[in-house]
């Protein structure tokens, strides 16, 4: 097994990209990746260095931390909306750069589709994606195909100025 430092050097950039895509902000992504590596350090200390597929384990921890952060944001947004109904409106009419369009398109996607698409874009195989997300291995390919089609469609809509509506279910 590689050392902690080797894992950090090889996996931190990809984890940071993945977490940033999940959370939408660099600061949240950095915090989540830091938590993932702290958890890895604890795990190595507890298990005496035995951890199979540390890369997949790190991505799973990052996925779970992003899910927790998203849940916390929803609770805060719900609480804020009860006190001030006028906050939180997104301005889709402003001129957006390609990166902003990509981020918005990802945020519009159902969470499971977004996670599968991002993990696939990081080079994970279907089985690894299934292990990280808890999705049935046979369904990963189907979900990925749907996610890619939805991303393409929504990106084109945003690019043309037709924002449509947010997707809230898995197709």
Domain ranges of the chain: 1-89, 91-166
Tell me the per-residue pLDDT of 25-67, one tens digit each, with 9 for 90 and over. 899 999 999 999 998 888 888 877 677 788 899 999 999 998 8
**pTM attached to this predicted model:** 0.57
pLDDT band at 87 (very low <50, low <70, confident <90, very high): very low
67: which residues sit within 8 A by CB, 6+ positions away? 111
Q: Which residue has the tokens 């369009």?
A: 101
Q: What letter would DSSP give residue 2?
A: -
Question: What is d(CA 150, CA 152) in angstroms, rounded to the nearest whole number?
Answer: 5
Q: Could you give the C-alpha distances from 119 to 62, 90, 115, 126, in angstroms and in order?
A: 11, 27, 6, 9
What is 91-166's CATH topology? Arc Repressor Mutant, subunit A (1.10.10)
Question: What is d(CA 62, CA 70) in angstroms, rounded to the nearest whole number?
Answer: 12
pLDDT band at 170 (very low <50, low <70, confident <90, very high): very low
The answer to whether 17 and 53 are in contact (CB under 8 A) is no
């Amino acid at each position: 097994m590689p050392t902690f430092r080797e894992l950090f050097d090889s996996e931190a950039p990809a984890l940071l990209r993945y977490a940033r895509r999940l959370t939408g902000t660099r600061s949240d992504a950095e915090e989540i990746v830091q938590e993932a590596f702290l958890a890895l350090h604890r795990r190595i200390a507890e298990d005496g260095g035995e951890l199979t597929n540390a890369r997949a384990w790190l991505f799973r921890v990052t996925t779970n931390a992003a899910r927790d952060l998203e849940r916390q944001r929803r609770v805060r947004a719900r609480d804020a909306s009860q006190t001030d109904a006028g906050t939180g409106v997104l301005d889709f009419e402003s001129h957006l750069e390609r990166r902003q369009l990509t981020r918005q398109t990802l945020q519009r996607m159902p969470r499971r589709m977004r996670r599968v698409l991002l993990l696939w874009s990081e080079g994970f195989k279907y089985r690894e994606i299934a292990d990280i997300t808890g999705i049935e291995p046979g369904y990963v390919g189907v979900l990925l195909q749907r996610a890619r089609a939805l991303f393409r469609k929504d990106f084109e809509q945003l690019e043309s100025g037709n924002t449509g509506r947010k997707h809230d279910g898995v197709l």
